[in-house]
Amino acid sequence: MTGHAGRDYLIKKNGTTIAGITAVNMTVNGAPVSNEDQTDKGFAAYLPCIMVDRSLEFGAEGVLLGDVLHDIALDTADVSPSFLADVTFEAPNGDVISGDFVMSGYTEGAPFKEAMTFTCTFTSDGAWTFTPDTP
């Protein structure tokens, strides 16, 4: 992947841009399945090619484009609007990650002479789809 500006990443819901990102962090989590026994003499051993508890997490900072994230964060309905279906993260190189995500943290800022800003965390809810750019 070549270098890109954080501001060129997009968060979309149902195909509509809901936030302009200025910085993004991505973490892929997972744990191998232990297969160790007394013959391993205390060294870790794992089942090959098997991971559990896989998740994808995005930390995003940026400028608010409308009230979507703000409204989701503040809604107090019994059914949490923080569970977001059909979310895509689009990278400037054309890569797209899509799936269902949970917005697990949200901070909003309102600088005196600047656009309103946000910081939030999205965690995958189930499997995600990665579609790499095709040149």
Q: Tens digit of pLDDT for each residue in 6-54?
A: 667 888 888 888 877 888 888 999 998 988 888 888 888 888 888 888 9
Nearest to 90 by CA among 2, 4, 11: 11
The partner residues of 52 in beta bridges, in order of sequence, read: 31
CATH number, domain 6-30+50-131? 2.40.10
Q: What is the DSSP-derived secondary structure letter of residue 93?
A: T
Q: CB of 72 within 8 A of CB of 82?
A: yes
- Label residue 135 by pLDDT band (50, 70, 90): low
The label of the residue with tokens 């965390």 reads: 121
Query: Is it the case that residue 131 has pLDDT exceeding 90?
Result: yes
Read off the pTM: 0.76
